[in-house]
Structure 1
Amino acid sequence: MLNWEQLLNGQRRKDRHGTGSTVLSANGRVELERDYDRILFATPTRRMGDKTQVFPLERNDSVRNRLTHSHEVSSLARSIGIRLAFDFRTEIFGDDSGKDIERCVPALLAAIGLAHDLGNPPFGHQGEKAIQNWFKRNEVKVFGEHNHTDSQDFLGFDGNAQTFRLVTRLQILNDTFGLNLTYATLASMLKYPVSNRQVQSLGWKKAGYFQSEQAIVEDVWQQTGLSEGIRHPFTFVMEACDDIAYIVLDAEDIVKKDIASFSDIVDHLNHMNPDDALTQSVLSAAKSKNKEFKNAGLSPKELNDVSMQMFRVYAISAMVKAILDSLVTDIKQIMLGQTPAGYTLLDSSEAAQFCAAMRKFDYVHGYRHKSVLELELRGNNYISNIMDMLWVGISHEGQDNLFAQYAFQRISENYRRIYTESEMSDNYRKAQLLADAVSGMTDSYLIYLHDELKNLHG
Structure 2
Amino acid sequence: MATIWSDRRVGELNEEPTKLSPEAVRSRFQQDYDRLLFSTPVRRLSDKTQVWPMDDNDGVRTRLTHSHEVANLARSIGSRIHNANATLFLEADLYHVIQPMLTAIGLAHDLGNPPFGHQGEAAIGRWFDQRKEWIFTNHAEGGRGLPTAIPDDLHAEFLKFDGNPQTLRLITKLQTNIAHLGLDLTSATLSAAIKYPVGAANRDKKNPIAKKYGYFEAERTLVERLRMETGLAERQRHPLTWIMEACDDIAYSVLDVDDAMKKGVISPDDVLASLRADKNTCEHAAVTKVQAKFEEVESAGRRPELARDIKIGYLRAFLIEALIDHASGTFVTAGEAIKAFSHQTPLMDDSDLCEKLKSLARQHAFGNPGVLRMEASGAEAIDGLMTAFWDAIHDRPAEDFDDILARRSGAKNKYVFALISQNYLEDASRAANASGIAASIRYRELRLLTDMLSGMTDTFTIKLWQELKGMH
Measure, in 2, the Cα distance between the counterparts of 1:297 and 1:442: 44
For the pair 1:299 / 2:303, whether they are aligned, the reply is: yes
For the pair 1:404 / 2:410, whether they are aligned, the reply is: no
Q: Decide which of 308, 311, 327 is 1:323's aligned counterpart.
A: 327
Measure, in 2, the Cα distance between the counterparts of 1:9 and 1:152: 31
Maintained 8 Å contact 1:26/1:34: no
Maintained 8 Å contact 1:131/1:384: yes
Give how far 1:184 is off. 0.7
Give how far 1:285 is off. 1.1
Give how far 1:12 is off. 0.6
Match runs of 1:260-409 below 5 Å: 260-273=266-279, 277=283, 280-340=284-344, 343-348=345-350, 352-397=351-396, 398-409=407-418
Q: Which one is further off, 151-160 or 202-211?
A: 202-211
> Letter of the aligned partner of 2:110 in structure 1?
D
Maintained 8 Å contact 1:202/1:229: no
Measure, in 1, the Cα distance between the counterparts of 2:294 and 2:205: 50
Q: Decide which of 120, 132, 152 is 2:113's aligned counterpart.
A: 120
Identity of aligned residues (%): 38
Measure, in 2, the Cα distance between the counterparts of 1:220 and 1:286: 45
Maintained 8 Å contact 2:124/2:161: yes
Measure, in 2, the Cα distance between the counterparts of 1:23 and 1:135: 47
> Letter of the aligned partner of 1:344 in structure 2?
P
Alignment TM-score, normalising by the size of structure 1: 0.92
Q: Decide which of 161, 177, 181 is 2:181's aligned counterpart.
A: 177
- Structure 2: runs of 5 or more not aligned: 139-148, 397-406, 433-437
- Structure 1: runs of 5 or more not aligned: none
Aligned to 1:57: 54
Maintained 8 Å contact 1:150/1:427: no
Measure, in 2, the Cα distance between the counterparts of 1:331 and 1:40: 30
Give how far 1:186 is off. 0.6
Q: Which one is further off, 306-315 or 40-49?
A: 306-315
Question: Do the aligned partners of residues 22 and 161 (structure 1) sit closer, same or farther apart at CA in structure 2, a change above 3 Å counting?
Answer: farther
Maintained 8 Å contact 1:13/1:180: yes
Maintained 8 Å contact 2:394/2:445: yes
Maintained 8 Å contact 1:276/1:353: no
Question: Do the aligned partners of residues 321 and 230 (structure 1) sit closer, same or farther apart at CA in structure 2, a change above 3 Å counting?
Answer: same
Q: Decide which of 24, 27, 30 is 2:27's aligned counterpart.
A: 30
Give how far 1:441 is off. 0.6
> Letter of the aligned partner of 1:103 in structure 2?
H
Aligned to 1:211: 217
Question: Do the aligned partners of residues 274 and 218 (structure 1) sit closer, same or farther apart at CA in structure 2, a change above 3 Å counting?
Answer: closer
Give how far 1:135 is off. 0.9
Cα shift readout 1:124-164 (whole Å, capped 9, x = no counterpart):
11011011111111223422267434532111110001001
> Letter of the aligned partner of 2:463 in structure 1?
Y
Cα shift readout 1:369-427 (whole Å, capped 9, x = no counterpart):
11111111001001001111111100104342111111111111111111111132111
Match runs of 1:183-194 below 5 Å: 183-194=187-198
Question: Do the aligned partners of residues 128 and 201 (structure 1) sit closer, same or farther apart at CA in structure 2, a change above 3 Å counting?
Answer: closer
For the pair 1:86 / 2:86, whether they are aligned, the reply is: no
Q: Which one is further off, 247-256 or 388-397?
A: 388-397
Give the total of aligned pairs. Answer: 443
Q: Secondary structure at the match of 1:143?
A: coil
Give structure 1 regions of 4+ aligned residues with deviation exceeding 6 angstroms: 18-26
> Letter of the aligned partner of 1:108 in structure 2?
M
Which has more helix, going by share of residues? Answer: 1
> Letter of the aligned partner of 2:278 in structure 1?
M
Measure, in 2, the Cα distance between the counterparts of 1:438 and 1:82: 37
Q: Decide which of 411, 430, 434 is 2:449's aligned counterpart.
A: 434
Question: Do the aligned partners of residues 107 and 230 (structure 1) sit closer, same or farther apart at CA in structure 2, a change above 3 Å counting?
Answer: same
Maintained 8 Å contact 1:231/1:337: yes
Maintained 8 Å contact 1:123/1:443: yes
Give how far 1:172 is off. 1.9
Give how far 1:223 is off. 1.1
Aligned to 1:418: 427
For the pair 1:221 / 2:220, whether they are aligned, the reply is: no
Measure, in 2, the Cα distance between the counterparts of 1:384 and 1:247: 30
Maintained 8 Å contact 2:26/2:96: no
Maintained 8 Å contact 2:381/2:462: yes
Measure, in 2, the Cα distance between the counterparts of 1:299 and 1:139: 59
Give how far 1:346 is off. 1.4
Question: Do the aligned partners of residues 19 and 447 (structure 1) sit closer, same or farther apart at CA in structure 2, a change above 3 Å counting?
Answer: farther
Measure, in 2, the Cα distance between the counterparts of 1:382 and 1:72: 29
For the pair 1:454 / 2:469, whether they are aligned, the reply is: yes
Maintained 8 Å contact 1:393/1:404: yes
Measure, in 1, the Cα distance between the counterparts of 2:76 and 2:194: 21
Q: Which one is further off, 407-416 or 196-205?
A: 196-205
Give how far 1:71 is off. 0.3
Maintained 8 Å contact 1:9/1:223: yes
For the pair 1:143 / 2:136, whether they are aligned, the reply is: yes
Q: Which one is further off, 373-382 or 303-312?
A: 303-312
Cα shift readout 1:261-297 (whole Å, capped 9, x = no counterpart):
11211121122235664xx311221122222222333
For the pair 1:239 / 2:239, whether they are aligned, the reply is: no
